């Protein structure tokens, strides 16, 4: 078992040994109510003994300790809320554990810890995100008790970090989704988009949810892949388009002239009547097409597909705006900016979340903004979770932004109240 005195320079000071005792007085017992179960993975029992009482004071009900990293395969379960993981473990190292968690499609929130270089931590974080894992943050040893506590508190203060219920795969049948359509379990939530220069709400992005009487609120990553496999994507897309434009028409009648962003998949670009269907809805609700932003995911699959390019071009000719989603990742690439008449690009949240800590992220965003503005595209950034990041993006020249700092996605019934009471913090 390793024993590095430097690691304990801060951790074992008398100040930090008593710090956890004061947390209860400062914040109240069980302040962190969003977490129940945790796992601490570190081959040094002294560090575990320091972290464990912190989690107890925060309010964790169950805390499991792993010294032999391979034990993760015996102990890990889907209901684990938090994993604190030392990267440099013997036998099965931290990156291997991340791969294991990725293969398990883990929804746990993970804190990465290392006494080595920050670059290793940054690389491990990217590995975790590539596996679709939820990284709460990284900590370099030595660290103080308050460092860990504040990291967890920061998560708790972000609204809408809803713990997703694991639904048995056999529940998602075609009958399940047909019922969801007929009984109106499908609902749109709307996340505000802010003009970062004018500091006002410019529009909303429409986001699909299932509000199920048995399973509660279900999110797209829980059901969209199955919708696609069952051949229901077109029906769902038309529901989203119709609901979103109807919502925008309702706002206009109340005196609010805002935009709406509607996500569509490459699979939706097969029906050549799509431009006419959207045009019909815009006319029905008396919406100027420029206020309807069609946000395309998986743009790299457009390639030279003539039907896809035809539909996008005809949408543009009819006055609708086109956005390229998650620019800088996956299928979104520079090539697509000249393949179709886009008006906007959306910077992927992975660059935004690291903006205040990683110089590289700022450099990338500055380059993307310069490129976009040079070819007359506007820029939207998603994943804004702090006032600091909002300010940096505004200084860089990002046009619009969205994220938990401004608002979580909200149901249609809450939008008017949000607009009435909105202030740019």
**Is it the case that residue 42 has pLDDT exceeding 50?**
yes
Highest-pLDDT range among 28-37, 143-152, 260-269: 260-269
Q: Residue 199, CB half-sphere, CA atoms under 13 Å: how many? A: 7
Give pLDDT tens digits for 282-303: 999 999 999 999 998 865 566 6
Paired strand residues for 94: none
**Is it the case that residue 357 has pLDDT exceeding 50?**
yes
**Is it the case that residue 252 has pLDDT exceeding 70?**
yes
**Looking at 81-90, 330-339, 381-390, which range is the least confident one?**
330-339
pTM: 0.66
**Looking at 6-20, 35-49, 251-265, 317-331, which range is the least confident one?**
6-20
139, 357 contact by CB (below 8 A): no
144, 16 contact by CB (below 8 A): yes
Q: Is 214 exposed, middle or buried (0-12, 13-18, 19+ CB in 10 A)?
A: exposed
Q: CA nearest 239: which of 186, 282, 176, 310?
A: 186
One CATH from 2.40.10.10, 3.40.50.300, 1.10.10.60, 3.20.20.450 for 170-421? 3.20.20.450
CATH class of the domain whose range is 5-156: alpha beta
Start-end of H helices in 131-217: 145-156, 174-182
How many Cβ atoms from other residues are within 10 Å of residue 156's Cβ? 16
| 406 Rama sector, left if φ>0, alpha if ψ -120 to 50, beta otherwise | alpha
**Looking at 38-52, 201-215, 391-405, which range is the least confident one?**
38-52
**Is it the case that residue 158 has pLDDT exceeding 50?**
no
**Residue percentage of the chain with pLDDT more than 90:** 43
Q: CA nearest 278: which of 248, 252, 307?
A: 248
Q: CA nearest 20: which of 61, 56, 46, 47?
A: 56
Give the model's pLDDT for residue 338: 73
**Looking at 301-315, 338-352, 369-383, which range is the least confident one?**
301-315
Residue 153: band (very low, low, confident or very high) from pLDDT cuts 50, 70, 90: low
Residue 131: band (very low, low, confident or very high) from pLDDT cuts 50, 70, 90: confident
**Is it the case that residue 329 has pLDDT exceeding 70?**
no
Give the model's pLDDT for residue 21: 41
User: Distance (Å, rounded) from C-alpha 267 to C-alpha 282?
Assistant: 22
Mean predicted lDDT score pLDDT of the chain: 82
Read off the pLDDT of each residue in 249-273 and give the average, rounded to a whole number.
92
Tell me which long-range contacts 388-394 makes (C-beta under 8 A, separation of at least 24): 388/356, 389/352, 389/355, 389/356, 390/194, 390/196, 392/355, 392/356, 392/362, 393/196, 393/352, 393/355, 393/365, 394/196, 394/197
- In the chain, residues under CATH classification 3.20.20.450 are 170-421
Q: Which helix (H) or strand (E) holds 325?
A: strand 321-327
Q: How many residues make up the chain in this entry?
A: 425
396, 369 contact by CB (below 8 A): yes
* 421 vs 177 pLDDT, higher one: 177
Give pLDDT tens digits for 408-419: 888 898 899 889
Q: Residue 412, CB half-sphere, CA atoms under 13 Å: how many? A: 17
């Amino acid at each position: 078992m390793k024993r590095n005195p430097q690691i304990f320079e801060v951790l074992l000071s008398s100040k930090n040994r008593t710090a956890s005792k004061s947390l209860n007085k400062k914040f109240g017992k069980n302040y962190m109510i969003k977490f129940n179960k945790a796992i601490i993975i570190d081959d040094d029992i002294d560090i575990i003994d320091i972290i464990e009482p912190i989690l107890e004071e925060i309010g964790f009900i169950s805390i499991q300790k792993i010294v032999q990293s391979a034990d993760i395969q015996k102990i890990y379960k889907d209901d684990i809320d938090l994993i604190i993981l030392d990267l440099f473990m013997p036998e099965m190292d931290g990156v291997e554990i991340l791969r294991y968690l990725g293969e398990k499609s883990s929804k746990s929130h993970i804190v990465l810890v290392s006494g080595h270089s920050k670059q290793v931590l940054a690389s491990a974080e990217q590995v975790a995100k590539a596996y679709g894992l939820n990284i709460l943050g990284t900590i370099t040893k030595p660290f103080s008790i308050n460092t860990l506590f504040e990291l967890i508190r920061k998560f708790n203060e972000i609204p809408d970090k809803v713990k997703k219920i694991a639904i048995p795969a056999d529940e998602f049948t075609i009958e399940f989704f047909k019922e969801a359509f007929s009984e109106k379990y499908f609902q749109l939530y709307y996340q505000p988009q802010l003009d970062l220069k004018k500091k006002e709400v410019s529009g909303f992005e429409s986001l699909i949810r299932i509000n199920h009487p048995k399973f509660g609120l279900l999110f797209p990553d829980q059901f969209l892949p199955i919708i696609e496999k069952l051949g229901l994507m077109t029906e769902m897309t038309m529901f989203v388009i119709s609901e979103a434009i109807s919502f925008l028409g309702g706002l206009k009648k109340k005196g609010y002239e805002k935009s709406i962003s509607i996500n569509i998949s490459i699979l939706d670009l097969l029906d050549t009547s799509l431009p006419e269907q959207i045009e019909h809805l815009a006319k029905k609700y008396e919406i100027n097409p420029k206020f309807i932003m069609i946000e395309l995911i998986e743009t790299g699959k457009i390639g030279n597909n003539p039907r896809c390019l035809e539909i996008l071009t005809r949408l543009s000719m009819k006055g609708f705006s086109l956005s390229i989603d998650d620019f800088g990742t996956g299928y979104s690439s520079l090539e697509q900016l000249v393949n179709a008449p886009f008006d906007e690009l959306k910077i992927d949240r992975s660059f935004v979340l690291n903006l205040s800590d990683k110089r590289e992220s700022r450099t990338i965003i500055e380059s993307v903004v310069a490129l976009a503005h040079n070819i007359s595209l506007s820029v939207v950034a998603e994943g804004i979770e702090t006032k600091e990041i909002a300010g940096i993006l505004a200084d860089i020249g990002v046009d619009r932004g969205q994220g938990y700092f401004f608002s979580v996605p909200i149901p249609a019934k809450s939008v008017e109240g949000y607009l009435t009471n909105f202030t740019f913090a």
